């Protein structure tokens, strides 16, 4: 029986959209969701169905999960991919922005997993796939809020991997490195240096960080999606899976003395440009 997959954050040009195509290519019934359905364009596979979903709304999440479960009778795989960038100095972020980004990147994972849990637990089968980031393990300057949300995502995934065992629900924490997507463009469009910022001299460094994930070394989105889907459809998916540009060096960073790594990253993103 082919899997029923619910994926959040499926706007065109992102990882979520590529995951939809790859899961569908493997014969899965895919429910692609985004807050604005108009931003989900160009899907080529008939097994992909688009639904509007605001992951920051309890009522909206409940509505979509009930709709899918009512129609399909099950949800086999949930991919928590919805996310928002947050470029700039950590202390330049307004508390409204901090709350908003945590709500989208982190709290939404708990919100959607909570809604899907009873559906999976009833059948004693399921998989939660939570998309984190290599900067959730080792942060870099000028993207601290995003790093904090992804660090929380990693911890949530590990705890869920234990607490969901009674229901035979597995968890896979996906940790992307540099993957070609629309995230840099979205962050560039939304970023504004506050007029009273004490970090104005570092604006070129901030822009460098925004575009760091979109270089010739970045992994093509389709290739990344193919790797993630392959792992997800295994009988025993790994608890952690990392791929993409810079994923190897960041894996090494995890084992090096922290003060040396942070010093190196600060020098990289604080040089005069």
Task: Return the active site residues.
Answer: 146, 150
What whole-number distance in Å separates Cα of residue 220 and Cα of residue 15? 10
- Provide the token pair at 168: 């035979």
Closest CA to 133 of 15, 231, 216: 15
**Using alpha carbons only, what angle is made at residue 37 by residues 16 and 187, rounded to the nearest 5 degrees?**
55
Dump strand ranges (E) for the chain: 4-7, 29-34, 48-52, 77-80, 126-131, 169-176, 240-243
Q: What are phi and psi of 261, to 5 degrees?
A: -65, -45
Q: Are 25 and 52 in contact (CB under 8 A)?
A: no
The 10 Å Cβ neighbour count of residue 242 is 19
What whole-number distance in Å separates Cα of residue 83 and Cα of residue 186? 11
């Amino acid at each position: 029986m082919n899997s029923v997959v619910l994926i959040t954050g499926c706007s065109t040009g992102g990882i979520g959209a590529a995951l939809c195509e790859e899961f569908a290519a493997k014969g899965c019934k895919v429910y692609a969701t985004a807050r604005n359905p108009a931003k989900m364009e160009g899907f080529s596979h008939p097994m992909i169905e688009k639904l509007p979903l605001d992951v920051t709304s309890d009522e909206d999440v409940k509505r979509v999960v009930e709709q899918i479960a009512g129609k399909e009778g099950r949800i086999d795989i949930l991919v928590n991919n919805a996310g928002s960038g947050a470029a700039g100095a950590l202390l330049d972020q307004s508390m409204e922005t901090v709350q908003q980004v945590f709500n989208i990147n982190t709290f939404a994972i708990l919100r959607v997993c909570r809604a899907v849990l009873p559906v999976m637990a009833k059948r004693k089968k399921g998989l939660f796939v939570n998309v984190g980031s290599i900067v959730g393990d080792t942060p870099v300057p000028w993207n601290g809020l995003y790093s904090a949300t992804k660090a929380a995502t990693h911890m949530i995934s590990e705890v869920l991997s234990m607490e969901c065992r009674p229901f035979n629900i597995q968890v896979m924490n996906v940790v992307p490195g540099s993957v070609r997507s629309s995230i840099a463009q979205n962050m560039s469009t939304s970023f504004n240096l506050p007029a009273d910022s004490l970090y104005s001299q570092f604006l070129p460094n901030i822009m460098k960080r925004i575009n760091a994930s979109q270089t010739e070394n970045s992994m093509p989105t389709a290739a990344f999606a193919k790797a993630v889907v392959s792992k997800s459809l295994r009988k025993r998916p790994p608890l952690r899976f990392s791929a993409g540009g810079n994923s190897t060096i960041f894996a090494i960073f995890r084992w090096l003395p922290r003060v040396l790594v942070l010093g190196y990253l600060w020098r990289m993103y604080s040089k005069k440009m």
